[in-house]
Structure 1
Amino acid sequence: MMILLSMLFSSYFFGYLSDVYSSPNTNSLSKKRNNLLFIALSFVIVTTVAAFRQSFVDTGTYRKIFVEIGTDWNLVQEQKDFGFGVLMVLLNYVSNHPQTIIIATSILINILVFRTLYKYCARIELGIFLFITTGCFALSMNGIRQFIAAAIIFCAIKLVIEGKWKLYFFVVLLAATFHGSAIIMIPVYFIIRRKAWSWSTFILTVCSILGYLSFNLLIPFISNVMAGTQYENNLNYLAEKDSGVNIIRIFVHAVPVILAFWKRKRLQEVWNKSDIFVNLSVLNLIIMVFSYYSWIISRIAFYFQIFNILLIPLIIIFCFDKKTSLFLYYSCFVLYTGYFYYEMVYMFKIDFKLIF
């Protein structure tokens, strides 16, 4: 845990310095151009810890698959997700050391995340901090294939903001080659482009409540629809087990939604495109509520949860007076650090180690 806490505070520190030594930028939401040197240092710290981790959750499984596939293109066809299979074969030409796949994917994911934070985060040090403490960093080291897909879509948020749906759909299809579940983000496009807290949000909430109350009745139907797909085993597990996510996680995911509703008028004044991020956060909360039935459902939240690291700083920095904003900033720092410690120590229950 000492490694993770050291990474957290040092990456935050350099992110903070990137804001201190920033220059004016009228084209940025934060009106600043953050110092790239300090952002790079923060990136290196986070990426190094992720890249050289040892046996964190599914890390060992990915290392094993990487060695087994080697440079055999025939084995690519046997992989659930073609894009990830191609990536593993290409990396094997560079090095067949099992840590290669972990290093490469860590670099790829963090480049996509940090690039998006640089462009759209109101305070980049807070965005980096939340990326680690809200659980996104842990997810990026656990479900690697799916988080690559989520990071690609996260980086493509510019296309959603600008309404470039054709290019966005192409990016989603590309992401789906790493994890097929990414295809869900195509219909989501039409939901998140609507005005937040409108009648569509109300209908979605009502349908979600009804779905939650009748969830046990829906499981057999969902299982029949997904029969024969790569998710069949997960759905069978969903029907047979009772292993929902921790209720604390659900409350944590509710925080940005509550803040966004509280300051909904001010958010519109600050940035009229904020509706996209609010809608993503609402969808994320709905999924997490359903995940109380089974943790498998929370896997879908990969594509939504990460956008909270943009929404929370936006609300804290621009939607309150200076005194309240400062209070919320430090409260966020303390509370999310506590949640991060709780999640890693008591939920994952893993003694994090590096390979050296």
Structure 2
Amino acid sequence: MPVYYFMLGWAVFWGCISELTAKVVKIGNECYERRVNIFLAFVTFSAVIVFAGLRSGVADTAAYIKMYDAYQIGFSGIFDTLKDSDQPGFILLSIFIKTYISQDYNVWFFIIASISGLSIMYGIYRYSKNFGLSAFLFMVSCNFTWMFNGIRQYLVVSILFACTFLIEERKFIKYCIIILILATIHKTAVVMIPVYFLAINKPWHKTTAIIIIGILLCILFADKFLNVFTEVVENSSYAEGYKEIGKTDDGVNIMTIFVSLIPVTISFLFRKQLDKEKNNEIMNIATNMSILAVCIYIISKITRSGILVGRMAIYFTTYNLILLPWLIDKSFEIKERRLIKYTMIVCYIGLFYYQLNVAWNGLEYISKILNLKFL
């Protein structure tokens, strides 16, 4: 636990420094935004990258270490290795690292953590109205724990988050190509192809109604929906682990659904006011993503499938990191804004403590290199 508190403190401190030294820059014709120093942005995320990269035991870390140790050195007979694999892209990346960079699994972890962490950092740097607050949310919402557990899926999630500008600029072909490449790392990436067409529409309009109807249909036919999803997972390399966890799986907890509802609720209540904002394309995208996250969490609870369905929400909840600061800034007056912001900070710190200490019964951290062991 002390490791996670240190990472939170580090992100908050450097996030605040980043905000205090931010400058207004011109990003287009008569369009200006506050941008933090890119080096300070990197420093803000450096602690979580370092601890994620140098770990030896957290959640599914042991399984990944075993996997990396089993990978071959060199590419001879690679086609036989990839023939029946559901993650050829991830295997190729791993074998490349093991062959040409290092056989040490910590180097492998560090490279993956760096790609994931810097991708999230870039998305926040480019789109957040308050980099420091977004970095804080990244930690206290426990989004960062995906860099310690479920790293293959989060690698895909973070890269797609960094590529949000392709949605904003309506470059579907390029976005689709990236998705198909990333699907070789984690096949769930393909869900982002239809999501693209939902994300580019204005929230709370006809398309939103279609989404909600689609969600209700999924709930109505929950068994068939879950069976299809389960079949995909059972044919993956994580089949045994999923089956074991599934025995006690009860879907996502109510608190997670409640927290995910906050930005959606604010967006809905102030939709007319927010609709008048100019140059808010990225916020429309983030709002739609947030709505999708809530719908998936509800399906997860109804189908009692947190490990199968609930994990899909990470593709969309990541956008709350940039959505919440924007909503607070645009939906409330200055006095209200401060009250809302401070209330949110206190509540999220409470969530951070609850998630790590109660829900996860204290998340372990082991690092042989750093000689740390917290169980």
Partner of 1:351: 364
SS in structure 1 of the partner of residue 290 of structure 2: helix
1:131 maps to 2:138: yes
State the partner residue of 2:257.
250
User: Which of the residues 114, 126, 130 maps onto 1:119?
Assistant: 126
Q: Does 1:5 align with 2:10?
A: no
Of 260-269 and 286-295, more deviation after overlay is shown by: 260-269
Map Cα deviations across residues 282-323 of structure 1 (whole Å, 9 max, x no partner): 001101111111112012112111111111111112321111
| Matching residue's letter, 1:15 | G
- Offset from partner CA, 1:68-124 (integer Å, 9 cap, x none): 103143334454211111111111121111222211111110111111111001100
Residue of structure 2 in register with 1:259 after alignment: 266
Q: Superposition pairs for residues 176-195 of structure 1, below 5 Å?
A: 176-195=183-202
Q: Paired residue for 1:324, among 326, 336, 352?
A: 336
Q: Is 1:313 aligned to 2:325, yes or no?
A: yes
1:106 counterpart = 2:101: no
Does structure 1 residue 96 correspond to structure 2 residue 96? no
Paired residues of 1:63 and 1:101 also in contact (CA < 8 A): no
Shift of 1:210: 4.0
Q: CA RMSD in A?
A: 2.5
| Contact 2:140 2:348 (8 Å CA) reproduced | yes
Distance in structure 2 (CA, Å) of the matches to 1:121 and 1:280: 15
Q: In 1, Cα distance between the equivalents of 2:355 and 2:233?
A: 33
Unaligned runs of 5+ in 1: none
* Equivalent in the alignment of 1:338: 350
Match of 2:56 in 1: 54
**Shift in Å, 1:40:** 2.4
CA gap of 1:200–1:257, structure 2 versus 1, over 3 A, is same
Structure 2 distance, partners of 1:343, 1:119, is: 29
Q: Take 1:30 and 1:310, find their aligned partners in 2: how far apart are those partners?
A: 17
Query: Do structure 1's residue 286 and structure 2's residue 295 form an aligned pair?
Result: yes
Q: Assess if the C-alpha contact under 8 Å between 1:30 and 1:123 holds in 2.
A: no
Residue 236 of structure 1: how far off its partner (Å): 7.1
Partner of 1:33: 35
Change (3 A) 1:237 1:261: farther
- After the TM superposition, which of the residue ranges 37-46 and 11-20 deviates more from structure 2? 37-46
Aligned mates of 2:186, 2:112 — CA distance in 1: 14
Q: Identity over aligned residues, as a percent?
A: 27
Does 1:173 find its partner at 2:155? no
1:263 CA drift (Å): 1.9
Question: 1:40 & 1:232 partners in 2: Cα distance?
Answer: 33
Residue aligning to 2:373: none
Deviates more, 1:58-67 or 1:77-86: 77-86
The alignment's TM-score, normalised by the length of structure 2, stands at 0.87
Q: How does 1:213-224 map to 2 (within 5 A)?
A: 213-216=220-223, 218-220=225-227
User: Please, which runs of 5 or more residues in structure 2 have no aligned partner?
Assistant: 371-375
- Mapped to 1, the partners of 2:15 and 2:23 lie a distance apart of 14
**Alpha-carbon distance between aligned partners in 2 of 1:54 and 1:227, rounded to the nearest angstrom:** 26
Tell me if structure 2 keeps the 8 A contact 1:238–1:294: no
Post-superposition Cα deviations, 1:174-202, rounded to whole Å, max 9, x if no partner, equal 22121111011001111111121112212
Asked if structure 2 preserves the Cα contact closer than 8 Å seen for 1:30 and 1:122, the reply is no
Residue 211 of structure 2 aligns to a residue in which SS? helix
Per-residue CA deviation, residues 259-286 of structure 1 (Å, 9 max, x unaligned), is 1112222322334312211111000110
Q: What secondary structure does 1:142 align onto?
A: coil
Aligned residue number for residue 207 of structure 1: 214
Deviates more, 1:159-168 or 1:28-37: 28-37
Aligned partners of 2:48 and 2:249: how far apart in 1? 34
Equivalent residue, structure 2, for 1:230: 236
- Single out whichever of 47-56 and 284-293 deviates more from structure 2: 47-56
Classify 1:25/1:192 alpha carbon distance in 2 versus 1 (closer, same or farther; 3 Å).
same
> Using a 3 Å threshold, how does the CA distance of structure 1 residues 228 and 306 change in structure 2: closer, same or farther?
closer
| 1:249 CA displacement | 1.0
Letter in 1 for 2:261: A
* 1:232-258 superposed Cα distances (whole Å, 9 cap, x missing partner): 948978997652121111111111111
Q: Give the distance between the partners of 1:7 and 1:223, measured in 2 at CA.
A: 35
TM-score (norm 1): 0.92
Determine the C-alpha separation between the residues in 2 that align with 1:10 and 1:238.
33
Q: 1:160 aligns with which of 167, 170, 176?
A: 167
Which stretch shows the higher mean deviation, 75-84 or 47-56?
75-84
Distance 1:87 1:39, change over 3 A: same
Cα distance in 1 for residues equivalent to 2:237 and 2:341: 40
Q: Determine if contact 2:86/2:237 at 8 Å carries over to the other structure.
A: no
Deviates more, 1:186-195 or 1:215-224: 215-224
